[in-house]
Amino acid sequence: MDQQVPIGVTVNGVRHERAVEPRLLLSDFLRHELGLTGTHVGCEHGVCGACTVLLDGDAVRSCLILAVQADGHELVTVEGLAPPGGGDELHPLQAAFREAHGLQCGFCTPGFLMTLVPFLREHPHPSEPEIREALSGHLCRCTGYQGIVAAVRLAAGSAP
């Protein structure tokens, strides 16, 4: 039973066409088929948040979507945040994470970033409780979250 389904997806502005087995998860498609290994995989049941990507602008768990379901949709992964061109310039949120010690090992970071991009679009000046609530769908085993909260504040330009 190896049904192959042709799909076409746009990832970080680039169109990709592939034939995939229906049971291939979107997270594994991004990592193994497209080589976009910035999307991390922690738990594969929606809890850790490491695999979060944008699907048509909304943050979703890529471990809980089949690659076939992304057919015809637009995705953004952490690789799509920094300005194109391959230089050293970071997305302002990435820069804030570096500045405020929002990461240590970095395993959780891509997921946090992909949740926070739409969050900051909707809440340009979030309060601390709003920030903490926004982070609640992600696990970080290193930072104790304080640096991440500070990074969000920094990126939002809100006073500490």
Ligand X SMILES: Cc1cc2nc3c(=O)[nH]c(=O)nc-3n(C[C@H](O)[C@H](O)[C@H](O)COP(=O)(O)OP(=O)(O)OC[C@H]3O[C@@H](n4cnc5c(N)ncnc54)[C@H](O)[C@@H]3O)c2cc1C
Residue that the structure tokens 């909707």 belong to: 122
Distance of closest approach, residue 5 Cβ to another protein, in angstroms: 6
Beta carbon nearer to ligand FES, 7 or 63: 63
Residue type, 123: H
> Which residue ranges make up the site for ligand FES (CB under 6 A)?
41-44, 46-51, 61, 63, 103-108, 140-143
Q: Which residues contact 36 (CB under 8 A, 6 or more apart)?
A: 11, 12, 30, 77, 79
Distance of closest approach, residue 48 Cβ to ligand X, in angstroms: 9
Stretch 42-81: interaction string toward ligand X, x if CB under 6 A: ----xx----------------------------------
**For 31-41, b where at least 16 C-beta lie within 10 A, e where not — what string?**
beebebebbbb
Rg (CA), the chain: 16
Cα 154 from Cα 152, distance rounded (Å): 5
Q: Which does 94 bind (CB under 5 to 8 A by kind): ligand FES, another protein, ligand X, none?
A: none
Cα 3 from Cα 71, distance rounded (Å): 16
Provide the binding-site residues for another protein, judged by CB under 8 A.
1-3, 5, 21-25, 28, 44-46, 49, 52, 55, 58-61, 63-66, 68-69, 115, 119, 132-134, 136-137
